[in-house]
Amino acid sequence: MESDSGIKIPSRLPLLLSHVGVLLPGSTIRFSVDSSRNMHLVHQRLLKGTSLKSTIIGVIPNTKDPEQYTDDIPTLHSIGTAGIAVQVVGSNWPKPHYTLLITGLCRFRVSSLLQERPFVLAEVEQLDKLDQYTTLATEGITVEDGQLGELSKKFYQAAVQLLGMLDMSVPVVAKFRRLLDSLPRETLPDIVASMIRISNKEKLQVLDAVSLEERFKAALLLLTRQIEGLKLLQKTRKFRPDNAKRVRDFCGKFPGQQFSLDGDDEDEDGDDTTILERKMYGANMPEAALRVCLKELKRLKKMPQSMPEYALTRNYLDLMVELPWNKGTKDCLDIRAARALLDNDHYAMDKLKRRVLEYLAVRQLKTSLKGPILCFVGPPGVGKTSVGRSIARTLGREFHRIALGGICDQSDIRGHRRTYVGSMPGRIINGLKTVGVNNPVFLLDEVDKLGKSLQGDPAAALLEVLDPEQNHSFTDHYLNVAFDLSQVLFIATANTTATIPPALLDRMEVLQVPGYTQEERVEIAHLHLIPNQLEQHGLTPQQLHIPLDTTRHIISRYTREAGVRSLERKIGAICRAVAVKVAEGHKVTKTKTEALSPKCPTQQGDMAAPPEMPIVIDYMGLKDILGPPLFDIEVSERLTLPGVALGLAWTPLGGEIMFVEASRMEGDGQLTLTGQLGDIMKESAHLAISWLRTNAKLYQLTNMVGAPDPLEGTDIHLHFPAGAVTKDGPSAGVTIVTCLASLFSGRLVRSDVAMTGEITLRGLVLPVGGIKDKVLAAHRAGVKCVILPKRNEKDLEELPTSICTDLNFVTAENLNEVLNTAFDGGFPGTASSHKFMQLTSKL
């Protein structure tokens, strides 16, 4: 058949049955040939020595897989596309097949089938005019008037708009633009429909549109939909038209490859990397970090997914885009509200609260203030960790706790290098990823319990983290780029500063958190501990009541601690015992032997049920629930013999009272020390012996036979009870002197006196540390008088008023004043030695 003018196609065409795509005139598609009919067509028509360009075949869309039929062919589509095979590629793996690259020429209609075997041959009728199939017609009919003219203008403008959304500097886009101007208008619908990503069903609608007007309408609708989708993509995905790679993802090579304007050729991994790249630009990371990410992303795109390094690189990039490089929370700078919140969460701790309020006030005046590095040092159970959480609530910041106890690998802080399998970032970077902001409150818990190993010293790795002058460029080994930690508020907690390296301790502002007084523990119990335990055990205040006197009895007789953890456990035990009674529905009356008695007096003989009242815990109830008291209040029974004195010691668990016992026996002047003592405490014992021997005549001290030298013919044994506990430090010096003076003089030390202080050979009393904890321990033990060094008098200002009222403090400059206070009626020789001690002090 022949069109009205121009070149004709053969009236008989071998038909290639396609079920994977629709070939439109002007487009080029690859077809896979593996069915028997199509294989025979390739062998007999395309591979028999004839030129490929001189062989025209017909391509008929078919929705049914050719492998599913053998003898009978299905009903064929009535309209197909004539084309030429530009390239034929054969392969024998995994089975024999061919790949054809076919360029469409024009439409045809199948008139009748001439043969079905070995391939399909049909009588066809040409529908489109084809002037020169090798160039796709350089001259065509120009439509200017009527509805068809308007459609062609709109279509051309839409095509230009589509190209305007892409970058003309990309070669493939520029080539498409040149072809758009040179092609006749009536060929545009087929070419553009083959470029954009539409379904095969929609392509069949364009193929079936024999009328040019209908063809423009169908293709214009698809083109408009594609433009709107691309606009939405630009808004939602921040599409960058200057990215040549992404343009090629939207627009394939022309005419050798079909165009795809919405990433049809992009596989799933390509989608992931594109999304990842978009996240990089939206993460607002520093320029140096962005360059590193883009470099790693470039490597990732070239890397097979089967490589182990692929997952490592992908995890690294995911972490980089998830880190809060410039995302933070706004501080709540209401000083009054912050003060009320801190007072509501914690009782006492005035020093810590004042420091937090100072930080808030300065932050309100200067917004660029860097986060301070605070270190709370105190015994366990005083609320150091909970104070850090309250500070975060006060500031309105995120809170993250990092437990450092037992860490002995510096990689836990700095992270592992990515050269290792299973590498990961350190706890600092992981914490920032978890909270999602760059200005959280980080609590470094138990910083004094860091260890060392062959993997390095984590305390040394913290030097950069906890230095306000350096942590603005903290570099984790895993990230290998600098991260700004200057806005993070670091709070460290420790029980003692003795095990913290000096360089690390110098970078932190140390705030001492001493133990609580008895009154403070009573208030904490009734404000926080009892309500919390009632809630945890399903009880109400109408079911259980613990009076103030009972709470004081628990604190003094069942707990001996600086914090409140043991107190909370005792209250929990009481709540469990009451919960059993409540669950059993047991009605109890107030008798002498009942452990849990309702506070409801009834008349004798009244058989009516008493009204429901809370169960009141009294002393007898405590004994039945908690057992006999664990501690005795009085210590006088321990001071019934000469040679016993009461000292005060500091431990990481708080202050403690410490007895010093001495005995003497016949011997050759040997000094025996027991109680697992450190070298410093042993030296204090030798200092005490030397000072007493020097002043033995002055203080009328003699040995067992009355000789002036106390050690002549005498052995001395000094013992410090609780031998399983290591003891060290110079603060036991005055206690050892008082104990030996009692032994040599045969006089008893006052049972209500405790003391602490370091001594010298001249008899001076030097200051020591931990005064508040030691005084609190003396108050818990029922001591009434405390002897302190004169230079520690300033430390008494930190004590609560109630403690200062209950205790009598004596500040001593020399041992003469200590001995004069420690014994009833003074010590023999102290009056006559007053001038001597003044002269010694001046020297």
Q: Which residues are annotated as a binding site for ATP?
A: 378-385
Q: Whose CA is closest to 594, among 617, 614, 627?
A: 617
- Dist. CA 193–CA 443, nearest whole Å: 62
Q: Where are the alpha helices (DSSP H) in 526-564?
A: 530-536, 548-557
- CA 405, chain centre distance (Å): 17
Distances (CA, A) of 166 to 256, 260, 407: 20, 13, 55
Give Cα separations from 530 to 198, 515, 524, 552, 621 (angstroms). Answer: 70, 19, 9, 13, 16
Query: Of the candidates 217, 286, 231, which has an alpha carbon nearest to the alpha carbon of residue 262?
Result: 231
Q: Which of 731, 742, 745, 751 is catalytic?
A: 731
Torsion of CA 308, 310, 313, 319, to 10 degrees: -100
Active-site pick, 27, 129, 774, 833: 774
For the sheet with 441-445, list strands across it: 399-403, 441-445, 489-494, 373-377, 509-512
Which helix or strand (DSSP H or E) is residue 510 part of? strand 509-512
Residues in Cβ contact with 349 at an 8 Å cutoff, skipping those fewer than 6 apart: 383, 387, 513
What are φ and ψ of residue 770, in 5° steps? 70, 35
Sign of the CA dihedral with 155 first, then 161, 164, and 166 last:
negative
Closest to 272 measured CA to CA, from 323, 321, 326 = 321
Please tell me the distance from the alpha carbon of residue 708 to that of residue 695, in angstroms, as a whole number: 10
DSSP H/E element including 102 = strand 97-115
Strand partners, 85: 102
CB-based burial, 751-784: b 16+ in 10 Å, e otherwise: bbbbbbbbbeeebbbbbbebbbbbbbbbbbbbbe
Is residue 111 among the annotated active site residues? Answer: no
Q: Is 665 exposed, middle or buried (0-12, 13-18, 19+ CB in 10 A)?
A: exposed
Side-chain half-sphere CA neighbours of 361 within 13 A: 8
Is 91 among the catalytic positions? no
Which tokens is 714 given? 């005498």
CA distance 18 to 501: 78
Extract the tokens encoding 633.
């209040």
CB 642 within 8 A of CB 743: yes
Mind telling me the catalytic residues? Answer: 731, 774
